[in-house]
Amino acid sequence: MAVSMKKEMAKRIDRACCSAILAIALCSPAAIAGPSEDIRSALDNWTKVFNSRDVGHVCDLFAGDLVAVYQGQPERNYDAICTLLSNSLRDREKSYRYSLDLKEILVSGDVAAVRLVWTLTVARKDGGVIETVEEPGIDIFQRQPDDAWKIARYLAFPIAPRP
């Protein structure tokens, strides 16, 4: 009976050690940095896609169930945002350029909140700037079934345009 109890104790200790190692691994900066880096990369890639007028990929950052709230505008879904972005990029009389100021990324499981400021510059075909708008906001990312991080919700509150 003593041998049986020793074996049982050894199994429990083994399980406890494995659990501790797993907990340490999951809480390590490398494990936490993974989703943050994926999201940062997705945002950087989208900025390049938008600025290169890549209509075929401009909607890739958004989840199909997107709900977008931009102060002063009606709530929009995925289709409405894609139409708006695509039409802007097809406009040959103006150019649209985004830059990103990423403030923070907070990840919890399969959801992440991203605090950021997008700056949109709209210019005429000849290069003259029409307006520059700073758009502080919160993007809520959700990990998709294919492990990609996409924006499921966003709130943007533009600051008055600068001439």
- Residue 6 domain-assigned (yes or no): no
| Lowest mean pLDDT, pick from 5-9, 36-40, 66-70, 87-91 | 5-9
Edge to edge, the sheet with strand 94-108 lists 76-77, 62-70, 149-156, 129-143, 111-124, 94-108
Domains held by the chain: number: 1
CA distance 136 to 155: 9
Task: Select the more confidently predicted residue: 103 or 9.
Answer: 103
Coil vs helix vs strand at 8: helix
Q: Tell me: the pLDDT tens digits for 128-158?
A: 889 999 999 999 999 999 999 999 999 999 9
Q: Does any domain span residue 10? A: no
Asked if 88 and 117 touch (Cβ cutoff 8 Å), the reply is no
Per residue in 2-14, pLDDT (tens digit) is 556 555 654 555 5
Question: Which domain CATH number covers 145?
Answer: 3.10.450.50
Q: In this predicted structure, which of 22-26, 46-50, 152-156 has the lowest mean pLDDT? A: 22-26
Q: What is the pLDDT, as a whole number, of residue 81?
A: 98
Q: What single DSSP character describes residue 162?
A: B
Instruction: Give the C-alpha separation, 91 to 80, whole Å.
Output: 17
Tell me whether residue 102 is exposed, middle or buried, using C-beta atoms within 10 angstroms of its C-beta: 0 to 12, 13 to 18, 19 or more: middle
Residue 131 belongs to some domain of the structure:
yes
| Domain assignment of residue 44, given as a range | 31-156
